[in-house]
Amino acid sequence: MAHEKRYLAQKRQRRRRKAAKAKVKLYEQGKLPHDKLPMLAKRFLSRKMRALNRAE
């Protein structure tokens, strides 16, 4: 039972992450303003920017 619950939670989180990454992609294409991004997408974006700045 615990395994099933954990699996369902992972599935839900995966769906949220996938949706957030799609929103980041829309933001990068200029189709979505920054203030309309969900919090998780903003977190992904800041992590991505930090990695890009570190690579330079």
In this predicted model, what pLDDT tens digit does every residue of 5-24 receive, in sequence order? Answer: 999 999 999 999 999 999 99
Mean pLDDT across the chain: 96
Q: How many residues does the chain have?
A: 56
Those residues with Cβ within 8 angstroms of residue 34's Cβ, 6 or more apart along the chain or in another chain: 27, 42
Cα-based torsion angle of the residue sequence 35, 50, 24, 19 in order, rounded to the nearest 10 degrees = -110
Phi-psi region of 30 (alpha: psi -120 to 50; beta: other; left: phi over 0): left
Please give the average per-residue pLDDT across 29-44, as a whole number: 97
pLDDT band at 56 (very low <50, low <70, confident <90, very high): confident
Long-range CB contact pairs, 40-44, < 8 A, 24+: 40/16, 44/20
